[in-house]
Amino acid sequence: MENNVSTTGLHTVLGAGGASGKAVIAELLQKSLAVRAVQRSSFTLKGVECVNATLLDQEETKKAITGSSHVYMCAAVEYKTRSWQRDWPLMMANIIEACLQTDAVLVFLDNIYMYGPAPLAIPFDEKHTQLPPSKKGMVRKQVADMVMKAITDQKLKAVIARSADFYGPYAKNSMLYIQTLDRMMVGKGPNSIATPGIPHTYGNTTDNARAMVLLATHPDCYGQVWHLPVGDAITPEQIVQLINKALNTSFKPSFIPPFIKAILRIIIPVMKEAGEMMYQFDHDYIMSWDKFKKRFPDFETTSYEKGIAEMIASFK
């Protein structure tokens, strides 16, 4: 083990009930680290200190984080632009303040909406221009900038860990699940809002968790943005083939025509919210994780075959 690795203290996971939070907790326990799990509703986890708190309340956030050496921000906000604009900045301000007061390392699980304009460079890395083409992207840029400003101005110890669209155990909010797997698991053909043949990179939640704990426990990684590992770029058709193999089915993907998608955005709220993000599926969307790979050359990603099989097993 490297000399500068930090392996002590209390590791607190915010958003413990989500797929990413669960994956981080599992990785921390596997490493025999002390874990505190935080979410809004009451819950119990074996071998874990469980705390109920809303991160929109400053005092509750402070109470949840006090005593932590490391804090993993895996919590989510309702997938509505208005909710993001209202809740994300407040939540992040509360978390930053609490981490500063307790001198905890913040590991912020971010996404990649802030990059733009669309279409993005192929591949795109951490240095890509940040002119977000969506309102949600503007919010993500705002909160990431808050973290970086706190690093510079207030000496916050933090890393921003950016994930591609993710998939894996319990990941019901994954685009891969929403567009494809949910229907195939109940014997229906997949209806995709993506464009046929367009390659896209996905991150596995288990890989994300392993990578985040590595970043958290290596102080030389602090103060930086890191792209988390992804598999090779994969098309919607290839995803369906892999799920067919896992389920022993023979479905073919059905792609929703653009004019139908335009109508659906008017009548279906979730389609309206997803509409501004369609550039990610209408153009090649390939994330580079070369920076992480160079720092941790022995890191091995989970194959799509294994990751999809584990994802299916978690829902069964």
Neighbours of 62 (CB within 10 A): 17
Distance CA 298, CA 301 (A): 10
pLDDT of residue 209: 98
Q: How confident is the model at residue 3 (pLDDT cuts 50, 70, 90)?
A: very low
181 assigned to some structural domain: no
Q: Which one-letter DSSP state was computed for residue 200?
A: B
The two three-digit tokens of residue 221, written as one number: 């990684």
Query: Is the pTM here over 0.85, yes or no?
Result: yes
Assign residue 107 the CATH number of its domain.
3.40.50.720
Answer whether residue 31 is part of any domain: yes
Q: Residues 67, 292, 232, 22: what is their CA dihedral angle, to the nearest 10 degrees?
A: -10
The label of the residue with tokens 């590992």 reads 229
User: Cβ distance 114 to 140 under 8 Å?
Assistant: yes
Output helix, strand, coil percentages for the chain, rounded to the nearest 5: 45, 15, 40
Closest to 199 (Cα-Cα) out of 278, 118, 133, 282:
282
Count of domains for the chain: 1
In a domain, 255, yes or no: no
Q: What is the pLDDT of residue 7?
A: 64
307 has a pLDDT exceeding 50: yes
8 — pLDDT class (breaks 50, 70, 90): confident
**CB atoms inside a 10 Å sphere around CB 12:** 28
pLDDT in tens, 119-130: 999 999 999 999
Residue 39, H or E segment = strand 34-39
Residues 128-138: tens digit of each pLDDT: 999 999 999 99
Distance CA 79, CA 51 (A): 24
Which of 150, 103, 96, 94 is closest to 9 using CA atoms?
103
The mean predicted confidence, pLDDT, of the chain is 94
Residue 187 lies in a domain: no
pLDDT-based confidence at 297, cuts 50/70/90? very high
Q: What percent of the chain has pLDDT over 70?
A: 98
Query: Is residue 157 domain-resident?
Result: yes
Q: Which of 184-193, 195-204, 291-300 has the lowest mean pLDDT?
A: 184-193
Q: What was the pLDDT predicted at 1? A: 41
Round to whole Å and give the CA distance between 77 and 89. 11
* 269, part of any domain: no
Residue 8's CB is within 10 A of a number of other CB atoms, namely 10
The pair of three-digit structure tokens given for residue 42, joined into one six-digit string: 């009451």
- 77's CB contacts (< 8 A; 6+ apart) are 83, 84, 87, 88, 91
Host domain of residue 218:
10-171+202-232+288-295
Identify the CA nearest to 174 among candidates 307, 29, 10.
307
* 78 three-state secondary structure: coil
In a domain, 266, yes or no: no
Q: Determine, yes or no, domain membership for 65.
A: yes
Examine the pLDDT at 5 and tell me if it is beyond 70: no
Task: Give Cα 294 to chain centroid, integer Å.
Answer: 21
Confidence of residue 280 (pLDDT cuts 50, 70, 90): very high
pLDDT beyond 60 at 2: no
User: Mind listing the pLDDT tens digit for each residue in 64-118?
Assistant: 999 999 999 999 999 999 999 999 999 999 999 999 999 999 999 999 999 999 9
Mean pLDDT of 175-198: 91
